Amino acid sequence: MTYDFPPFLADLDAAREHGFDLMTKAVRLRTAPMHTPVVSTIGSDGRPRARVVVLRAFDREQQQLRFHTDIRSDKFHELDRDPRIALSFYDAQEKIQLRIEGRATLHQNDAVADNAWSASQPMSKLCYAVEPGPGREISARDDFALPRDRSESEMGRAHFAAVIVTIEEVDWLWLGAAGNRRAAYRFANGQIEARWVVP
Ligand SMILES: Cc1cc2nc3c(=O)[nH]c(=O)nc-3n(C[C@H](O)[C@H](O)[C@H](O)COP(=O)(O)O)c2cc1C
């Protein structure tokens, strides 16, 4: 039986661009599976730590993506200590997994952070006004304060950070009816190194 491969399997460039199309779409589309990747950092004790974040921006020309976090969170401190970062994306309908490795830069008091904050919805901003900070132990379940009124949303700005990830490597995997295919990409000095690898 013959099988028509999808067009994005034509070559390594098409596979990469298709993966990047999915990420681009996922920034705006809250229901897209790639809207909420898993981000992994290196814990202060050297152990891997993973959690879900919202993908806020993706720039395929610069090979950079952005997410937001609270400066009081563990992940912020972990990235401050060691900027190496990995992200996993999976779109079950497209049958595509993207594993990204790169380096993070933290933006608190600069134009990157200001622009990201300005573009954020009031509801998203409110989360950054929580007291005490995320991860702190509390004596009872509800022993924290989170403003509910949108007029208070600016209170969180002092705790807000934009994290920019510069992508160094992408591991692309397609689990298809005709068998699996896998490609690896490395981005450095404006060059893209690409190769097929065994899935
Ligand atoms: C759907 C979803 C989206 C989330 N988005 C973010 C986010 O964009 N930024 C963030 O810091 N945490 C986000 N979180 C919470 C993190 O997964 C995590 O629980 C929290 O940030 C604490 O992580 P840390 O202690 O490792 O820093 C999200 C969680 C879920 C379930």
Joined together, the tokens standing for residue 98 give: 């993207």
Q: Does ligand 1 have an atom closer than 6 angstroms to the CB of 49?
A: yes
CATH of domain 7-136+144-197: 2.30.110.10
Other Cβ atoms closer than 10 A to 162: 23
Nearest CA to ligand 1 atom 25: 74
Tell how far the Cα of 192 is from the centroid of ligand 1, in angstroms.
31
Q: Does ligand 1 have an atom closer than 6 angstroms to the CB of 153?
A: no
Say how far residue 166 (Cα) sits from the centre of its chain: 11
Ligand 1 atom nearest residue 75's Cα: 27
Joined together, the tokens standing for residue 16 give: 């990469």
Residue 131: DSSP 8-state: B
| Percent of the chain scoring above 70 in pLDDT | 98
Residue length of the chain: 199
Q: Does ligand 1 have an atom closer than 6 angstroms to the CB of 33?
A: no
Domains of the chain, by residue range, sit at 7-136+144-197
Quote the CA–CA distance of 55 and 52 in Å, as a whole number: 9
Phi and psi angles of residue 164, each rounded to the nearest 5 degrees, phi first:
-105, 125
- Residue whose token pair is 């990830």: 165
Determine the pLDDT at residue 3.
Answer: 66
Q: What is the pLDDT of residues 5-52, one digit of tens each?
A: 899 998 999 999 999 999 999 999 999 999 999 999 999 999 999 999
Other Cβ atoms closer than 10 A to 32: 19
Whether 56 and 117 have beta carbons less than 8 Å apart is answered as no
Q: What is the pLDDT of residues 51-85, one digit of tens each?
A: 999 999 999 999 999 999 999 999 999 999 999 99
Whether 121 and 49 have beta carbons less than 8 Å apart is answered as no
Q: Does ligand 1 have an atom closer than 6 angstroms to the CB of 145?
A: no
| Percent of the chain scoring above 90 in pLDDT | 90
With 0-12 / 13-18 / 19 or more C-beta atoms within 10 angstroms meaning exposed / middle / buried, residue 124 is middle
Tell how far the Cα of 151 is from the centroid of ligand 1, in angstroms.
23
Q: Does ligand 1 have an atom closer than 6 angstroms to the CB of 51?
A: yes
Q: In 8-103, which residue ranges form alpha helices assigned H by DSSP?
A: 12-28, 74-81
pTM, entire model: 0.96
The band of 176, judged by pLDDT with boundaries at 50, 70 and 90, is confident
* Residue to mutate (ligand 1; options 53, 117, 136; most atoms within 8 A of CB): 53
Which residue type occupies 97? Q
